[in-house]
Amino acid sequence: MSKFKRHLITAALPYANGPVHVGHLAGCYLPADIYVRYLRSKGEDVKFICGSDEHGVPITIKAKKEGITPQQVVDKYHGMMDASFKEFGISFDIYSRTSKKIHHETAAGFFKTLYDKGVFTEEVTEQYYDEKANQFLADRYITGTCPKCNNENAYGDQCEKCGSSLSPTELINPKSTLSGEKPVLKKTKNWFLPLDKMQPQISAYIESHKDWKSNVYGQCKSWLDQKLQPRAMTRDLDWGVKVPLKDAEGKVLYVWFDAPIGYISATKELLGDDWKKYWQDKESRLIHFIGKDNIVFHCIIFPAMLMAHGEYITPDNVPANEFLNLEGDKISTSRNWAVWLHEYLEEFKGKQDVLRYALCANAPEAKDNDFTWKDFQARNNNELVAILGNFVNRTLVLSEKYYGGKVPQADEYNKNDLYLLEELKKFPDKISASLDAFRLREALSELMNLARAGNKYLADNEPWKIAASDEKRVRSVMNISLQVCASLSVLMEPFLPFSAAKLGGMLNLKGLRWRDAERTDLLKAGHQLGTASLLYDKIEDEVIEAQVNKLHESKKMNATPSSILPQKAETSFDDFSKMDIRVGTILEAERVPKTDKLLKLKIDTGIDQRTVVSGIAADYKPEEIIGQKVAILVNLAPRKIKGIESQGMILMAENAEGKLAFVSPTRDINNGGLIK
């Protein structure tokens, strides 16, 4: 039925610097798994590819911090992720890793092909080099004073204090984090993918996929409208895939060049020579499941690489999800604000499907969504237990009671029966339509509608009431209810594979395909059913409260230690006394238009009244700070901000969350009073 002979489905390669959390699952692994299981159930030829992304700078930094090698870092997390995906029922055909030999060969080969075809442009730039450590420094390995806010601990790519994005050469007093030495500028050559020149064909490619999700298509359009820029595909670093050229000593492939090729090398590893069918045959369909942070790489850069190579098909669809928040706050690995999959699996043994259900029902398909434990509990208790589990349970309990677990013979169908059976036949196609359009939440809710229909049918026909008076009728009602259970067991498999298997066991059915779900004779009269047991248990309030508490405690623990910055370099009293800090009073305050954080203040410094622009609007409203006593550095060189000359700087204290507070004398000191 599909115009494609085979499907290659990938899920974003998770970065091997931390374990898997619910955000990852909801973003791409669960949707991809549901889609793949659905295709398999339809009998399609499908391969599901994933693996750990093990290169890139953050891993080398993490290794340094923990005093181990990068290889040890990735080994640890690769093992964890592999195991927890497996236990959660993410049914990869292969879960590989980019540190494997086959990947290094494939990625290097791919690069070499592009190089030989003359695709790349070469550019020599000046980069910082650490002479003591004998290597070029990635942006993150350089710290120095931020030229914008004087923060002495700014990184080469970004100042975390003021948020400015920087280039390493802008830093004042740059320092290598490897040796502490001052790095020197040294020329280095890198290879660029000329996306600017490829813009026409990339545009044509994107334009031919207007059917993509609006968040994906919109993001791509935005990049194209801003004109693509050449992008460096190599880096001066020693952790990664070596650039396969003679004059490229000490260089590796850019992670975003190397990572998507991981899909290709994993396919090779899985299939041997057959891999080409999936990547190079026009009748193959390539689909990437990713989170929104990866859209550009999968929709523009990777397709550009594939086109430049020439022998590959391009992604047919990239159904990217938005982000999942947790209890109202962004999920963060470093702040330990997350529900970790390996911990969930430990604490909720056998409840994989509950999390699968909660995440799918609330997946961030169109916008960011919030995962809350309360919602998780409600989904389980009010939907899985009360609707799906209950329908199956009441049907099987009655069958056991009336017929000793043997499927009864249906006699004549009445109006009610025919109506339900007609409805039943529509479900596989209805759910298919939603799944084919990557509307998984909708598909899941359709599935639940079948269970709802079953519950209603039982309530309307009340077999328990007529059990004694009309045995014939009861046999028909129970037969039909059992057929609905059988269809459910097939249709729920992509979403709830563990429950589907359990239900299959209770019904003593297996090996059914998607199409079978529309049949109304899956269970023959006389067929012996297995033993009934509950599909889902209620989750009590205490369990949920415990999880919420755990979350908040870990947040508290993380808030304090890591956020205290180390002491700055020693300074002299002379240097300190150059600062002229005075007590002042805020006379006027107003928002600087078109900015989020800036206030324009008029301050009485005792010396004069002057204008100061200050980034405090997130914490203070203009009207509430009039009359506030402040500490002000008055002899700071004036600087124009948003066209307003700022003549000084207000001193602010900052807590771990970045909240600001005025520094102000505790007894009444007149304006102009010296702070020393």
Partner RNA sequence: UGCGGGGUAGAGCAGCGGUAGCUCGUUGGGCUCAUAACCCAAAGGUCGUAGGUUCGAUCCCUACCCCCGCUACCA
Counting contacts by CB under 7 A, is residue 258 touching RNA? no
Give a three-class secondary structure readout of 502-539.
HHHHHHCCCCCCHHHHHCCCCCCCCCECCCCCCCCCCC
- Of the candidates 311, 544, 290, the residue with the CA atom closest to the CA atom of residue 438: 290
In the complex, the smallest distance separating the C-beta of residue 449 from RNA, rounded to whole angstroms, is 7
In the complex, the smallest distance separating the C-beta of residue 21 from RNA, rounded to whole angstroms, is 16
Counting contacts by CB under 7 A, is residue 53 touching RNA? no
In the complex, the smallest distance separating the C-beta of residue 331 from RNA, rounded to whole angstroms, is 10
Member of 364, 408, 494, 504 binding RNA (CB under 7 A)? 364
Residues 98 and 103: their CA atoms lie apart, in Å, by 6
**What's the Cα-to-Cα distance from 586 to each of 609, 615, 631, rounded to whole Å?**
10, 15, 10
Residues 12-51, mask of contacts with RNA (x by CB under 7 A) = ----------------------------------------
Stretch that binds RNA, among 15-23, 98-106, 458-466, 570-578 (CB under 7 A): 458-466
Q: Which two tokens stand for residue 657?
A: 């969350």
Sort 377 into a burial class: Cβ within 10 Å, 0-12 / 13-18 / 19+. buried
Q: Which helix (H) or strand (E) holds 633?
A: strand 629-633
Counting contacts by CB under 7 A, is residue 121 touching RNA? no
Return the half-sphere exposure (C-beta side, CA atoms, 13 A cut-off) of residue 592: 23
Counting contacts by CB under 7 A, is residue 662 touching RNA? no
Is 97 within 8 Å of 78 (Cβ atoms)? Answer: yes
In the complex, the smallest distance separating the C-beta of residue 160 from RNA, rounded to whole angstroms, is 9
Give 198 or 450: the residue with its C-beta nearer to RNA. 450
Residues 417 and 336: their CA atoms lie apart, in Å, by 53
**Alpha helix segments (H runs only) across 404-414:** none
Give the orientation angle of helix 302-309 with respect to helix 195-207, to 10 degrees: 100
Query: Helix or strand or coil: residue 12?
Result: coil
- Of the candidates 150, 155, 157, the residue with the CA atom closest to the CA atom of residue 177: 155
Give 164 or 558: the residue with its C-beta nearer to RNA. 164
Give 251 or 629: the residue with its C-beta nearer to RNA. 629
- Of the candidates 524, 520, 522, 287, the residue with the CA atom closest to the CA atom of residue 421: 520
Q: Which two tokens stand for residue 292?
A: 């929104």
In the region spanning residues 313 to 342, those forming contacts with RNA, defined by CB under 7 A, are 322-323, 330
Stretch that binds RNA, among 214-222, 268-276, 312-320, 331-339 (CB under 7 A): 214-222
Residues 267-296, mask of contacts with RNA (x by CB under 7 A) = -------------------------xx---
In the complex, the smallest distance separating the C-beta of residue 103 from RNA, rounded to whole angstroms, is 27
Counting contacts by CB under 7 A, is residue 659 touching RNA? no
Give 225 or 247: the residue with its C-beta nearer to RNA. 225
Counting contacts by CB under 7 A, is residue 377 touching RNA? no
Counting contacts by CB under 7 A, is residue 300 touching RNA? no
Stretch that binds RNA, among 147-155, 178-186, 228-236, 421-429 (CB under 7 A): 147-155
Counting contacts by CB under 7 A, is residue 479 touching RNA? no
In the complex, the smallest distance separating the C-beta of residue 593 from RNA, rounded to whole angstroms, is 6
- Of the candidates 116, 118, 119, 139, the residue with the CA atom closest to the CA atom of residue 127: 139
Counting contacts by CB under 7 A, is residue 100 touching RNA? no
Return the half-sphere exposure (C-beta side, CA atoms, 13 A cut-off) of residue 620: 20
In the region spanning residues 545 to 604, those forming contacts with RNA, defined by CB under 7 A, are 593-598
Give 198 or 592: the residue with its C-beta nearer to RNA. 592
In the region spanning residues 164 to 183, those forming contacts with RNA, defined by CB under 7 A, are 164-165
Sort 363 into a burial class: Cβ within 10 Å, 0-12 / 13-18 / 19+. buried
In the complex, the smallest distance separating the C-beta of residue 389 from RNA, rounded to whole angstroms, is 3
**Single-letter residue type at 143:** T
Member of 462, 470, 553, 590 binding RNA (CB under 7 A)? 462
Q: Which two tokens stand for residue 381?
A: 């208790």
In the complex, the smallest distance separating the C-beta of residue 61 from RNA, rounded to whole angstroms, is 18
Member of 124, 459, 468, 569 binding RNA (CB under 7 A)? 459
**What's the Cα-to-Cα distance from 301 to each of 260, 315, 342, 487, 558, rounded to whole Å?**
10, 11, 33, 43, 36
Residues 441 and 434: their CA atoms lie apart, in Å, by 8
Stretch that binds RNA, among 107-115, 393-401, 560-568, 573-581 (CB under 7 A): 393-401
Q: Each residue of 61-92: b (16+ CB within 10 Å) or e?
A: bbbeeeeeebeebbbbbbebbbebbeebbbbb
Stretch that binds RNA, among 42-50, 98-106, 344-352, 382-390 (CB under 7 A): 382-390
Strand partners, 337: 332
Sort 13 into a burial class: Cβ within 10 Å, 0-12 / 13-18 / 19+. buried
In the complex, the smallest distance separating the C-beta of residue 554 from RNA, rounded to whole angstroms, is 20
In the complex, the smallest distance separating the C-beta of residue 466 from RNA, rounded to whole angstroms, is 11
Is 82 within 8 Å of 95 (Cβ atoms)? Answer: yes
DSSP state at residue 292? G
- Tell me the chain's radius of gyration from C-alpha atoms: 31
Applying CB under 7 A, what is the total number of residues that bind RNA? 81
Stretch that binds RNA, among 26-34, 42-50, 132-140, 369-377 (CB under 7 A): 369-377
Stretch that binds RNA, among 156-164, 412-420, 518-526, 546-554 (CB under 7 A): 156-164
In the region spanning residues 423 to 442, those forming contacts with RNA, defined by CB under 7 A, are 441-442
Strand partners, 6: 45, 284
In the complex, the smallest distance separating the C-beta of residue 310 from RNA, rounded to whole angstroms, is 30
Give 258 or 365: the residue with its C-beta nearer to RNA. 365
In the region spanning residues 491 to 510, those forming contacts with RNA, defined by CB under 7 A, are none
Member of 127, 135, 219, 605 binding RNA (CB under 7 A)? 219
In the region spanning residues 629 to 658, those forming contacts with RNA, defined by CB under 7 A, are 636-637, 639, 641-642, 646, 648-650
Q: Which two tokens stand for residue 636?
A: 């700071």
In the complex, the smallest distance separating the C-beta of residue 16 from RNA, rounded to whole angstroms, is 20
In the region spanning residues 226 to 255, those forming contacts with RNA, defined by CB under 7 A, are 226
**Single-letter residue type at 293:** D
Backbone angles phi, psi at 485, to 5 degrees: -60, -40
In the complex, the smallest distance separating the C-beta of residue 382 from RNA, rounded to whole angstroms, is 3
Give 308 or 361: the residue with its C-beta nearer to RNA. 361
Member of 122, 131, 238, 370 binding RNA (CB under 7 A)? 370
**Single-letter residue type at 333:** T
